[in-house]
Structure 1
Amino acid sequence: MQRTLLASLLLLGVSACSYHPDPTDLVKVVDSPADVRVCQRLGEVSPVVSTTPGFGSAFDGMKEAVVALGGTHLYLQQNSHDWSLVRGIAYRCGSRVIQRETVIRAKG
């Protein structure tokens, strides 16, 4: 009985460690340009869209596009005073941001 209980608990513990979230669940959604000011802009992932009912499918599409571009953040840019119109822009923030350096070589 004790061995069966121990084996069950062990299997339960191992299966809990194997959870892998959907990549779109890892996209951080922000609504302030200050949140992405030090991030690399990857591009627009939607035209200006309405946030009225039905916005969920457009929002999911934006997050999928962010993942496809290798982004980490979705910036929802406000395009009306009441947030009824927004545009999605993908950014890559954090340690995965590619810093571009310019190398200047002297001719000699």
Structure 2
Amino acid sequence: MELLFFVMNQIDKLDQLLKDLSNEKKFSATIIDSAGMARLLADHDYLFGSLRALLNNSQVNSKTIFMVLEHEDVEHAVQIIEKNVGDLDKPNTGVVFTVPVSYVKGIVKKG
């Protein structure tokens, strides 16, 4: 099993992403509010003016979505994510990564 994390920058696309994930009976997720280090530093005036100017000050915090998935379902979940936010290799879309899970209890299998 894998724990997939998706740090979502375009939070206006969250509702549709969750709908698309829920259409697949095997996907369930937890969502938490998050913020990048550069954003927090900029908000607290720790960055020099020129670097601070590069950041989009109107951007609100991110959302971090995490899901415990079977290894074979990871690529499909990433496809759904990219369908909603665009190519993750492009700027300002988000970051996705997985870590191995060696033990899980309490997850009800769907579908």
Does the TM-score normalized on the shorter chain lie above 0.5? no
Higher relative contact order (CA closer than 8 Å, sequence separation 6+): 2
* TM-score w.r.t. length of structure 2: 0.28
* TM-score w.r.t. length of structure 1: 0.28
